[in-house]
Structure 1
Amino acid sequence: MDTSQIQQCGDELYDAWRQRQVLTPLLTRFPDIRVEDAYAIQSRYVARRLQAGERIVGKKIGVTSKPVQDLLGVYEPDFGQLTSGMVCTEADGVSLEGLIQPKAEAELAFVLERDLVGPGITAADVIRATAYVSPCFEIVDSRIKDWKIKIQDTVADNASCGVFLLGDAKGDPRKLDLALAGMVLHRNGALFSTSAGAAVQGSPVNAVVWLANTLGRLGLPFKAGEVILSGSQSQLLAVQNGDELVCRIGGLGACRARFHGKAAL
């Protein structure tokens, strides 16, 4: 893709986000999009949000499970950038008013107390740089019609970022076995799914290692205070007004997300 096409796609995604509308898959219109092009489109889209007054508060890792990688035809995760406009709290819950076709997933968040600059980062480096971990929900959203995405579409669309909510529970990763810690997810009081941290690249720490090194090669360090969403430990779950989700991680605690308002679709 040339620069004008990359800017066009990034601007289209930004406008779709602002207007809560969907686009036909980029890959159907530009069948030669490479993943590298998709990340350039993502940068344009995120830059438009920053120009409008948001700031970067962290990163997210996506496509961490083998079934999803097989579905999209890829063999490594992807990443997106978290902005200040995506932050929700347990106290306020999650408004669906700014979203289009949201789906929730439960995972583990890392909050850094020091910079983490790859490449060459190890699991021990990640643990040392982490202030605490928290259970969290990421509410993914797609500006692509009917979620008909391939890897190029979701990468361009900022890894399908919507909003996220960190639980109030905080744990020391030095005192937790993040690979073996079990997660239980309830929807409106009923058990929805169970899993363990090992579902994410063998351990959520491994996913953060991958991202720190990947971003380091691109000249993008993690900064102290940033949040890293390490990848879903649950199935995607469509959410609507009145839903309540609670995920609980063994040895750590729970995160509660209450949803209100109406998504666009």
Structure 2
Amino acid sequence: MLSPDVVAAIAAELAEADRAHAVIPRITARHPDATVEDAYAIQGVWRDRMLATGRRLVGRKIGLTSKAMQRATGIAEPDYGVMFDDTVHPSGAEIPVDLFSNVRIEVELAFVLATPLEGPDCSLPDVLEATGQVVPALEVLNSHIELEGRTIVDTISDNAAYGAMVLGGTRRHPEEVDLRWVPGLLYRNGVIEETGVAAGVLDHPARGVAWLANKLHHHGARLEAGEIILAGSFTRPLWVSRGDEVLADYGPMGTVTCHFV
């Protein structure tokens, strides 16, 4: 495993890359023996640095839960990161491209927890019982590590490539809609680019949340009431640039839009 000094140094490097909207060389190219535990340690030090500046944690994102995303990235296991209050935008928001690196967008569902959720044996029914609302959402990816050749270690260290979230206005209780069959039609500048269905996330998007609760248990943590959990994308990531208008149509869950400026 990496020494605490090396973990802290990489976390500081990522914090500076975030501030400068820059990209750094792969961690695994420089530290080929780095493990997944090292990656979460790096992410944890980076998270604590952000909290110390006054940012507030409002939820977690889960990544790489669908075959579409695993094939797009070449990474075959899920990961997770944290979300801060200043990264959450309403549908229709204008989002500055210059805040991010390697900007892409994904179609997801967000689970807003009404009660805490804890492993180690969290299941799909547990997630549905703990969820107060399900909301359609777009995730903006923000990768500070060079993409070519990256591994799960690189991605986790970089807060699972999370940049921002755009929340829709439609909110449903899990009992009001069949979450497996929520569609996702992703448009860029009026042209349809990606399609998917929420069952692409582990056959039910709530299973992604259960995976996270069980994973956090091994790190001595749990999901708290009020947290927003992005369950993972059921489309491939779509590259976006300044000037792009993005619309995602979730059928009975409404639409989510944003404009990159």
Q: Following superposition, which runs of at least 4 residues in structure 1 exceed 6 angstroms of deviation?
A: none
Distance 1:238 1:21, change over 3 A: same
- Cα separation, 2, equivalents of 1:176 and 1:147: 39
Which whole-Å CA distance do the structure 2 matches of 1:71 and 1:166 have between them? 24
What are the equivalent positions in structure 2 for 1:180-195 lying under 5 Å apart?
A: 180-195=181-196
**Structure 2 gaps, min length 5:** none
1:236 corresponds to which residue?
237
CA–CA distance in 2 between the matches of 1:225 and 1:142?
Answer: 27
Inter-partner Cα distance in structure 1 for 2:76 and 2:240: 28
Write the distance in 2 (CA, Å) between the matches of 1:122 and 1:67.
23
How far the C-alpha of 1:68 sits from its partner, in A, is 4.2
Cα distance in 2 between the residues matched to 1:34 and 1:182: 36
Structure 1 Cα separation of the partners of residues 80 and 8 of structure 2: 19
Q: 1:91 to 1:70 in 2, by over 3 A?
A: closer
Give the paired residue count.
260
Q: Give the whole-Å Cα distance in 2 for the aligned partners of 1:137 and 1:11.
A: 28
Q: Does 1:133 align with 2:134?
A: yes
- Paired residues of 2:107 and 2:138 also in contact (CA < 8 A): yes
- The reply to whether residue 77 of structure 1 matches residue 83 of structure 2 is no
Q: How does 1:106-121 map to 2 (within 5 A)?
A: 106-121=107-122
Task: Tell me the residue number matched to 2:203.
Answer: 202
Alignment of 1:27-46 (within 5 A): 27-46=28-47
C-alpha separation in 2, matches of 1:121 and 1:100: 35
Mapped to 2, the partners of 1:178 and 1:28 lie a distance apart of 40
| Preserved contact between residue 7 and residue 41 of structure 1 (Cα < 8 Å) | yes
Residue 113 to residue 247, structure 1, CA distance change in 2 (3 Å) = same
Are the equivalent residues in 2 in contact too, given 1:22–1:144 (CA < 8 A)? yes
SS in structure 2 of the partner of residue 42 of structure 1: helix
The yes-or-no answer on 1:86 pairing with 2:66 is no
Secondary structure of the 1:211 match is: helix
* DSSP-derived class of the 1:145 partner: coil
CA distance in 1, matches of 2:149, 2:75: 16
- In 1: Cα distance, 2:59 partner to 2:176 partner: 24
Checking the alignment, whether the CA contact within 8 Å between 2:69 and 2:236 is kept in structure 1 is no
Output aligned runs, 1:113-262, within 5 Å: 113-146=114-147, 148-260=149-261
Identical-pair percentage = 37
Contact 1:73 1:151 in 2 (8 A): no
Other-structure match for 1:263: none
Instruction: Tell me the TM-score normalised to structure 1 length.
Output: 0.93
Q: TM-score scaled by structure 2?
A: 0.94
- In the aligned structure 2, how far is the partner of 1:190 from the partner of 1:100? 24
1:11 Cα deviation from its structure 2 partner: 0.8
What residue identity is the alignment partner of 1:124? P
Gaps of 5+ in 1: 261-265
Tell me the C-alpha RMSD between the 2 structures.
Answer: 1.6
Assess if the C-alpha contact under 8 Å between 2:245 and 2:258 holds in 1: yes
* Secondary structure at the counterpart of residue 181 of structure 2: coil
